[in-house]
Amino acid sequence: MANSTVNNGAKPDILRVEGLRVYYDTPRGSVKAVDGISFALKAEERFGLAGESGSGKSSMALAVMRMIKPPGRIAHGGVWLDSRNVLALPEEQMQRLRLAEIALIAQGSMNSLNPVMRVRDQIIDGFRDHDLLLPRREMEARIHELLERVGLRPDVADMFPHELSGGMKQRVCIAIAISLRPKVIIADEPTSALDVVVQRQVMETLRKVQEDLGASVILVGHDMGLMAQFVDRLGIMYAGKLVEVSPVADIFTTPRHPYTQMLIASLPSLEEKGEFRGIPGLPPSLLDVPPGCAFHPRCPHAMDRCGTEEPLMKEVQPSSWAACHLL
Amino acid sequence: MASVPTAAAQSLPVEPSEGGLGEKLRGVLGYMRRNPPLIVGLVLLLSLLLFCGIGALVYDLNRARPLSVPPGLPPAADYPFGTDNQGRDLFAVMVAGTPLTLRIGLMAGFIGLFVGTVLAFVSAYYGGLIDTIIRGVVDIGLTVPGLLVMIIIAIAVKGNLSVEQMALVVACLAWLYPTRTIRSQVLSMRERAYVQVARLSGMSGPEIIVKEMLPNLLPYLLASLVGATASAVLASIGLEALGLGPLESPTIGMTLYWVIYYSALLLGMWWWFIPPIVIIIILFVGLFNLSVGLDELANPRLRRSV
Amino acid sequence: MTETAQSALLEARHVTKIFGGGLFDKTRTIALEDFSMAIESEPPSITAVVGESGSGKTTLARLLLGLADSTSGEVLYKGKNLRRMSGDDWRSFRRDVQVIFQDPFEVYNPFYKVDHVLTTPVEKFNLAKSKQESRALVEDVLHTVGLRPEETLGRYPHQLSGGQRQRVMVARALILKPRLIVADEPVSMIDASLRATVLGSLKQLNQDFGISIIYITHDLTTAYQISDNIIVLYRGSVAEVGDVELVVRQPQHPYTRLLVGSIPLPDPERRWAAEAPAALSVKRVDGRRCKFVDRCPSATDVCLTGVPALFQTNSYRAAACFLYQGSPVLKAEEMDRVFVEAPERRGVRRPDADGGRAAATG
């Protein structure tokens, strides 16, 4: 399934997030990591959530999994998985949901593999936690199948994490994430520490398993190039808010929000040597987000209205949404 | 472990704080609230010091000398802690002796830490033969039973020991452990990028040690000082209880010596041996908590978080 | 090699660096193998050294800066071996060759304000005669890199963003008016929108101040944007070298092709093509054959016979690959023969040692 064009209403929504707010309470005030985010993820879709450091995207991923720990809390909003209210579930049921229906490949997870357990045992762990242990022979077969899906040799099952390269470890993490055939896979910066060649292999693996499983993927990250290569639809986050959501081709050819425009303009190209165009100013502190539109201090098109009134997401074109007073 | 997303913390362009003393004080008190052991330690030690300070003002400390009061009396109105068999007023003894014991501990701790720090820096920064020699001495020295060595030293020092000489005896071994722990801290610091930058900026070895590494080590050194003091106090009490201490001083350890010498336990003279034990307990629990609290302060993961 | 009266500013001659491999250590890693490179101070250029982890690029940086010793071969500063330099030579070296490290956090001592990294070199190298002069110097370089002194000085490192911290580091490198700056992955830990500003500052140093830069990175795109010439390293050896326009736009070495093909282009229309499989199945890659043979889609039997030399396929490029064995061999020491001089750089003014300016001899 190459560049799937998004058909409005053709595929059902598998995950819906509405008005999500995640705040961290610190002695200096509330850090508003996620401040009113809404989006929908369709079945079999690859959705990207792009933002720079301090935009709140990792908190978004954790919130959907209900893995926010104090001093963080989900202050507001709803998350629906397949029309089930995730935030209202008792913890036991939530635990059964995790890995089996919605899996997370956390940032730096390849370094969080248990160093004293073999790969096989770490995969089995997931099964055990969900009371899905199979008799030995079948378990072995499943493990081999999983490793094959991610392009690893079966003898990797006997190895310890330190015997594997970075790319292999990350693929083990993908294998663990898909072991119970979830409907949604959230990958938070899955390739950040990897070289460009290995990165490509890991992303190709992720694409392949997603297509095989018919699952949906949310790719969280800051690498716009990676988003362009992988996702169908892309959401841009800034200071805890979503500023634009569009099919990926539209984001790159006709970005609508000034932040998106400047972000894309700042990407260095391989076509020609050009000027170095950064975005002036600094991303705001999440403790003290500017009033109105969070981007207005850095926006070249800012009007008076932008400093007082927060822009709402408007459907500028079918399936293309942006939050800007200019539109 | 900070649960606040570190990326968010890193991109915070914080305004430099305007406040002077007032805001700094509030910051310090706020921190202390989150660090219970620090408070417990400080409270215990301060109460002890208060006890000694106020006691010295309201009480006649000459009564800590032998033959100043009727011997062997249990606690009464005139003698709040009773008296011992040599005619010492035990309340005066506690008030006078506790600071002496502390002084021995602090002096020995300071000397031990100072020598240890110098040796640790030299050993870790320059490496090579010096490092091997120092490390060897430390490793061997730490396996030898310290008390034994100090007994031998104490015996070898002829004549009556003063409090200061006591401190020096204890200091002889107090530098071993600090050398080892500070050395490993310096070793890891040596590889930090800012040390490399300092080298490339033209700083010399000793300059880097003093200007770049030492300031970052201060919290750790403070925590080590408390630890060194505690073990020095323990060592001095041990030596004194064996009779190898300053016989004429009313230190805690010497009180214990007289307690043993006069079989106060068998004689049922509870007012004689209970106060020194209580003071030792308060002292050590206080020092221990203080060192745990300072350890947390010194832990680099705690610093620079929101 | 022609003996010139003036030796190259910094030169690596047949440098090899091996880690481990001692008596009890079974793991022996060849980080850099027989690497030679000469950096002239005239004309000032930007050379990219590109490679993935394990390519040896970080080792190269450390060796060139004198922060580590080579196992064999030598590193020469103005003709003098780093291992045999006097104290004065080192001072001169530290003034001429500066560095920008990758991690914008670790390079700052958390105890001091950021002023410290700027004032220390001024002090140590006696660049100012008074506090006011020192302050003026510091403010001047901050302005040059586009920072406002009132927003930067007096702050602690954690109060600045990664991009600002890195620009302060660029300012620091500039204060000493070096001839060469070794930049080791200067923007990889900075946000995308802030990278452009740091890279812009580096480019400016080269164009306005005539400072040569060795830009070490794994990111081909920024390497392309900023440099004139490029050296591609693979497992400690040079795979391809030359004019960055040629090497990146039309890569010749199969590894360079793989690298360029793996770049995630920010263009949804041009997605990754399928990766070509290796042509030969090779069990081990040891020293006496091309190092890329186990992954190369164009490998043939000749690739198993020996290590390919650098074949110069064009005035401005060379590739170490048997595919080009018909071309003349380029000796390692003469690698800079294929370097191109950016036309806008000829005749640029270069500040000389005591701050005056002299026009470069073209």
% of chain B residues with pLDDT over 90 = 30
Helix (H, G, I), strand (E, B) or coil at A105: strand
Confidence tier at B303 by pLDDT (50, 70, 90): very low
Report chain C residues whose CB lies below 8 A from the CB of B198. 109, 120
pLDDT at res. C1: 41
Q: Please name the residue of chain A whose CA is at the shortest distance from the CA of residue B13.
A: A285
Among B17-21, B152-156, C58-62, C292-296, the range scoring the smallest mean pLDDT is B17-21
Q: Do B5 and A287 touch (CB under 8 A)?
A: no
Model confidence at B180: pLDDT above 80? yes
Model confidence at C26: pLDDT above 50? yes
Q: Is A54 on the interface with B (CB under 8 A)?
A: yes
Question: Which distant-in-sequence residues (6+ apart) come within 8 Å of C281 by Cβ?
Answer: C294
Q: How far apart are the first and last CA of chain A?
A: 33
Tell me chain A's radius of gyration from C-alpha atoms: 20
Model confidence at A117: pLDDT above 60? yes
Neighbours of chain C (3+ CB pairs under 8 A): A, B
Model confidence at B244: pLDDT above 90? no
Model confidence at B112: pLDDT above 80? yes
In this structure, what is the dihedral angle of CA atoms C35, C41, C46, C51, given to the nearest 10 degrees? 10
| Average pLDDT of the residues in A282-290 | 84
Q: Is residue A311 part of a domain?
A: yes
Q: Which domains does chain B have, with CATH numbers?
A: 36-67+79-298 (1.10.3720.10)
Model confidence at B20: pLDDT above 70? no
The CA angle C88-C94-C100, to the nearest 5 degrees, is 170
Model confidence at A178: pLDDT above 80? yes
Q: Is residue A259 part of a domain?
A: yes
Q: Do A52 and C272 touch (CB under 8 A)?
A: no
- Judge contact between B231 and B174, C-beta under 8 A: yes
C-alpha–C-alpha distance, residues C64 and C48, integer Å? 14
Confidence tier at C86 by pLDDT (50, 70, 90): confident
Q: Do C275 and A275 touch (CB under 8 A)?
A: no
Each residue's pLDDT tens digit, C148-190: 898 889 888 888 888 889 989 999 988 888 999 999 999 888 8
In the block, which residue shows the tokens 């620091």? C172
Domain of residue A191 covers 13-322
Model confidence at B217: pLDDT above 50? yes
Each residue's pLDDT tens digit, A248-272: 999 999 999 999 999 888 888 887 7
What b-and-e string marks burial along B292-304, b requiring 16 or more CB atoms within 10 Å of the CB? Answer: bbbbbbbeeebee
Report chain A residues whose CB lies below 8 A from the CB of B306. 26, 28, 31
| Average pLDDT of the residues in C257-272 | 89
pLDDT at res. A26: 83
Nearest by CB to residue C121, choosing from B14, B16, B201, is B201
% of chain C residues with pLDDT over 70 = 90
DSSP C148: -
Q: Please name the residue of chain A whose CA is at the shortest distance from the CA of residue C222.
A: A268
Nearest by CB to residue C266, choosing from A195, A224, A276, is A224
Confidence tier at C25 by pLDDT (50, 70, 90): low
Q: Do B8 and A33 touch (CB under 8 A)?
A: yes
| Average pLDDT of the residues in A220-226 | 91
* Gap from B299 CA to chain C (nearest CA, Å): 14
Nearest by CB to residue B5, choosing from A33, A52, A285, is A33
Q: Is residue A7 part of a domain?
A: no
Model confidence at C95: pLDDT above 90? no
> C43 versus B116: which is more confidently predicted?
B116
Q: Is residue A77 part of a domain?
A: yes
Here the tokens at position C302 are 């000749």
Model confidence at B125: pLDDT above 90? no
Confidence tier at C195 by pLDDT (50, 70, 90): confident
> B34 versus A31: which is more confidently predicted?
A31
Q: Do A252 and C258 touch (CB under 8 A)?
A: no
Each residue's pLDDT tens digit, B263-297: 888 988 888 999 999 999 999 999 999 988 888 77
pLDDT at res. C24: 65
Q: Is residue A258 part of a domain?
A: yes
- What value does the mean pLDDT of chain A take? 88
pLDDT at res. A1: 30
Model confidence at C69: pLDDT above 80? yes
Model confidence at A114: pLDDT above 50? yes
Q: Do A72 and B3 touch (CB under 8 A)?
A: yes
| Average pLDDT of the residues in B213-218 | 87
Q: What is the DSSP string of C27-55?
A: -EEEEEEEEEEEE-SSS--EEEEE--TTS
Model confidence at C20: pLDDT above 80? no
Q: Is B46 on the interface with A (CB under 8 A)?
A: no
pLDDT at res. C343: 56
pLDDT at res. C344: 52
Model confidence at B3: pLDDT above 60? no
C-alpha–C-alpha distance, residues A107 and C186, integer Å? 22
Q: Please name the residue of chain B whose CA is at the shortest distance from the CA of residue A238.
A: B8
Number of domains in chain A: 1
Query: Judged by CB atoms within 8 Å, which residues 278-307 of A form the interface with B?
Result: 282-283, 285-287
Model confidence at B9: pLDDT above 60? no
Model confidence at B148: pLDDT above 60? yes
Confidence tier at C349 by pLDDT (50, 70, 90): very low
- Judge contact between B247 and B266, C-beta under 8 A: no
pLDDT at res. C325: 87
Nearest by CB to residue C94, choosing from B15, B202, B303, is B202
Q: Is residue A8 part of a domain?
A: no
Model confidence at B301: pLDDT above 60? no
**CATH code, domain carrying A226:** 3.40.50.300
* Gap from C105 CA to chain B (nearest CA, Å): 9
Q: Please name the residue of chain B whose CA is at the shortest distance from the CA of residue A282.
A: B13
Q: Is C275 on the interface with A (CB under 8 A)?
A: yes
Q: Do C191 and A277 touch (CB under 8 A)?
A: no
**Neighbouring-strand partners of residue A320:** A317
Q: Is C292 on the interface with A (CB under 8 A)?
A: no
- Contact residues of B toward C, CB < 8 A: 10-16, 192-194, 196-203, 212, 215-216, 303-304
Q: What is the DSSP string of A14-81?
A: EEEEEEEEEEEEETTEEEEEEEEEEEEEETT-EEEEE--TTSSHHHHHHHHTT---TTEEEEEEEEEE
What is the value of pTM for the model shown?
Answer: 0.79
Q: Is residue A2 part of a domain?
A: no
Q: Do B8 and A27 touch (CB under 8 A)?
A: no
Q: Is residue A247 part of a domain?
A: yes
Query: Can you give the length of chain C in residues?
Result: 362
Model confidence at C52: pLDDT above 80? yes
* Gap from C173 CA to chain A (nearest CA, Å): 20
Model confidence at C4: pLDDT above 50? no
ipTM exceeds 0.85: no
